[in-house]
Amino acid sequence: MYAKRFHARFILVFLCVALMIGSLPTAVLADDSVPEYSPTNASVADTEDAVGRVFNLAYQLRDENSDSAKIGGGFTWDTEGKKRSWTYYNGIMMDAFLMLDERGFASYANAFYGANITTQGTVNSYGASDNYYRENELDSIPPARALFDLLRDPTTSSGSAEKYRKMIDYIYFLLQNHEQVEGTDGNFKHKMKNENWEAYQVALDGLYMAQPFLMELARAIDDGTLTVSDFQNYTGTDTGISSDEIYSEVIGRMAWIGENLYVPETHLYSHGWGPEAGLSGQYWLRAVGWYAAALADVIGMLPDEYEEGRSSLVGIEKRLFDGMMEYQDVATGMWYNVINYGPELRGSVSGNELETSGTALIAYAMMKSYVEGYVDDTYGEAGLRAFNGTVMNYLDENGLHNVYISSGVETAPEGYLTKEYKTNEAKGVGPLMMAATYASTAAELHAEEPVSTTPSFASQSLVLSGQIGVNVFVNLPGDIAEYEDSYMAFFVNGKVTDVPLDVTFMDSEQVAYGFTCYVNSLQMAEDITAVFHYGEDNAETIEATVSVADYLAIIKDNSSQFASEVVELASAIGDYGYYCQKYLNRINNLEDKYAPMPDPDTAEYDFEELASLTDTYKAAVSLGDSAIDKVSCSLKLDSSTVMRISFMTKGGFEGTPEVTVQGGEAFVPEQRGGKYVFDIEGLSAHKLADMNDISITADGECKVSVSALSYANAVLTNSDENDAKNAMASLYQYYEKAMAYRALTQ
C-alpha cells in the first residue's frame, strides 16, 4: 500500500499477455572499532538476506519505541536527544515505516501524528513547549510527507484525516511566504533569519526537505486525495493552487541545483551555495544523498506530460551517480563521510569513515530509479552493492553503526568531523529502511539483465481504455539514450502510424518499453504489423505481427493459466467485437471489408432480461422552464466509445445555449443541421455505467442524467433490429466483466 516504488506508469486497464509460463558474513562492530570489511555483491540471495535484516531492525526499533504517541521526544533513534517529536528525522522514520508496508506500521504512524497534530492542523505543543513548527526552516516539513499516504489509507479515521489535511494546508501556506533566494529559480532559503545560514543560503539537504512534499501535494490534488476546498483554512482558495504550477516550480528548483552546485573538477555536488559566497566546495556524503533521494522521488512522481522536465532531471541524476561511482569503495560499495577523502582525513572529534546514512540514501536513489526504469543496470548494480555493503559491514545485533550525527555547511573538509558517529540514529536507519523497499526488486532485475545487444519483442497486452488496442513491448539492451530517435511503425489495413519511443511507458516489470496501437471495433481481427526502427538513421528494424483477436484466442486456449475473471472478460471483448462489427457492417454498407471476428461465445442474448438489468441506467431528462426540446443520446462505437448528446431549441429562442458536464466549465455546443451536439469521449469499459450530470442553459435550465448504458437500455427496450440489440447487449456484458476484473485486481 505504501511502498512508493509502485507508481502507475500509465492509466490503462489492461490484461497482461505474457504466459509466464553462502550465508552472509557479518562484521560485529562497536562504534569505536575498526571494521573488518566483508566484500559485497549484488546477488539476489545476499540482497534478500540484507533486506530481512533491515526489516528485523525496523521491528526492533518499533518495539523499543512502542509508544509513538508522544510529543516531547524520547525516541531511541533520536541520538540528538531533542525534547520534541516534530523533527525531520522522526518524520522520515514514519515515512520509512509506511514504505515497508508491514501490518501495524500504519497504526503506529497514525498514533504519532494523532498526538503531534492539533485539530487546527498545527504542531501540538501542549505539555511540550519545544514541540512546535519552526516556520523559519525547511527541516520542519518532512514529518508531513507521510500524511499523504495516511490520507489514502482506509484505516485512517475521518477525524485524523481532517487534521492531516489542515496540516498540509498550513505548511503549504507557510511555504508561500518562505523566502526564496534570488537568482536560483525559486529555491528556498534553508533557514530564514539565521546568521549561521546567511553565507550558504541554499543547501543540498533542503531539496529533500521541501520538494518531495510539494510533489506529493500536487499528486494528491491530481488523484483527488486533496481538493481546493482543503486549502481554505490557511492558504485560501483565492490562491488558485495548481498541481501543474507546482510540478513546473519543482522541476525548475531541482534543475537549478543540478546545474549550479555541480563541480566539474571533482565530478561531485557541493554541499552549499550562497549569493555572495558562491559554492562551499565541500562534499558531505549525506547532503549529496538527500539531493539524490529528492531527485529519485521527484522523477518518479512527475506525470507523463512532464517528460521533458523528467528527462532533464534524469540527466542530472546520472551525472550525480557517475561522479559518486568514481569514489565508491571497491570492497564495501560504500562512501566516506567526506566523499573525496579517505580515512587519512582527521577532524577534531572523529575520523573520516565509511558512513551509513549517506550511503543508504545514494543506494535508495540508485535502486529506485533503476526499478522504475529511469536508469540502467550500471546504476542499479552500484546501488545494490552500496545497500548490501552497508548491511553486511555495519548492521549487527546492536543496530546500524556509523551514522554521522549532523552538520551544517562547512568551509573545510575537517568541519564535517567535529561530531560523533552514532548507532541506530534515525538519519541512517530511515534511509536504510527506504532503500530496503527497492532492493529485492533491483536484485531480481539485475539477475535477469539481458545479455543480448539486439532489441527484441518481449510481450504484448490488451488496452481497455476509451479505445481498444494492443501494447507491444520491446527489450532495448544497452543505454536507453541510444534509442532516443527510435520509433514503432504500426501497419493496419494499409495505413501506417508511427509511435515514438516513450521512455516512461514500460511493462509491469519495468524491463521492456511499450508502444500502443489503437484499433476500432471493425479492426479487432486485423493483423497489426509492428516494425521497430532503431540504430543509425533508424535503418535497422525488427518486426512482429499481432492482433486483438489473436490475443483473445491466447487467453481462451490457455484458460487454465488465467483467473476466471480474465477469461470471462476476454470472451466478452470478443463478443463485443463480433456483434459491433456485424452491426456496423450493415449500417455502413461495408460488405465485410474487414477481417471477420471469430464466432461469439454468446450466440444470442436475452434482450428482455438485459433491458430489465439496464433499466437502472435509464436516462433522465428534466426540461424545466428552458427553451430546450428533444434531447437524445447515441453512441459512437467504430473507433472509441463516445457518447453523443444532441438537442434542439424551441421556436422563438434566439440566444446561444451553454452546456456544463459534471459541473465543469460551460461551453457552447456545435450546431449541426438545426441541432446542437456535443460528445463525451474516452469512456473506458468501467465508466460505461457512470451517469453524467449535464446542465443545458437556454432561457432556463434543462437537466440531463445519462450514461453509455442509458443508450444501451434504450436500444434493448425500443429497437426492432436484432443486430443493434446484440451490439448493445455485448457492450453491457463487456462492462460487467470489466468491473469483475477490476474488482479482482484492485
Q: Which residue has the higher pLDDT, 744 or 95?
A: 95
Cα gap 291→295, rounded to integer Å: 6
Q: Quote the cell numbers at residue 548.
A: 486483438
- pLDDT one-digit tens code per residue, 87-113: 999 999 999 999 998 778 999 999 999
- pLDDT one-digit tens code per residue, 39-54: 567 889 999 999 999 9
Calculate mean pLDDT across residues 473-479: 90
Check residue 32 and give its pLDDT: 40
Calculate mean pLDDT across residues 723-735: 93
Calculate mean pLDDT across residues 679-683: 85
pLDDT category of residue 12 using cuts at 50, 70 and 90: very low
Q: Which residues pair with 111 in a beta bridge?
A: none
- CA angle in degrees (0–180, nearest 5) for 584-587-590: 70
The one-letter amino acid code at 11 reads I
- pLDDT one-digit tens code per residue, 108-143: 999 999 999 999 999 999 999 999 999 999 999 999
Calculate mean pLDDT across residues 714-743: 92
Calculate mean pLDDT across residues 645-658: 92
Helix axes 243-260, 307-326, angle to 10 degrees: 30
Check residue 69 and give its pLDDT: 96
The DSSP result for 375-433, as a single string, is: S-HHHHHHHHHHHHHHHHHHEETTEE--EE------SSGGGGGSS-EESS-HHHHHHHH
Pairing of strands 528-534, 540-546: antiparallel
pLDDT category of residue 600 using cuts at 50, 70 and 90: very high
Mean pLDDT (the chain) is 89
Pairing of strands 421-422, 403-404: antiparallel
Check residue 37 and give its pLDDT: 52
What percent of the chain is modeled with pLDDT above 70? 92
Check residue 241 and give its pLDDT: 85
CB 674 within 8 A of CB 653: no
Comparing CA positions, the residue from 738, 628, 623, 639 lying closest to residue 690 is: 738
pLDDT category of residue 456 using cuts at 50, 70 and 90: confident
CB 295 within 8 A of CB 317: yes
Check residue 25 and give its pLDDT: 27
Residue 561: pLDDT above 70? no
Lowest-pLDDT choice from 415-419, 446-450, 656-660, 726-730 = 446-450
pLDDT category of residue 276 using cuts at 50, 70 and 90: very high
Check residue 13 and give its pLDDT: 28
- pLDDT one-digit tens code per residue, 499-553: 999 999 988 767 889 999 988 888 999 999 999 999 999 999 999 898 899 888 8
| 731 three-class SS | helix
pLDDT category of residue 35 using cuts at 50, 70 and 90: very low
Calculate mean pLDDT across residues 393-415: 96
- pLDDT one-digit tens code per residue, 152-208: 999 999 999 999 999 999 999 999 999 999 999 999 999 998 888 999 999 999 999
pLDDT category of residue 20 using cuts at 50, 70 and 90: very low
CB 72 within 8 A of CB 85: yes
pLDDT category of residue 18 using cuts at 50, 70 and 90: very low
What percent of the chain is modeled with pLDDT above 90? 73
CB 167 within 8 A of CB 235: no
The DSSP result for 137-160, as a single string, is: BGGGSGGGTHHHHHHH-TTS-HHH
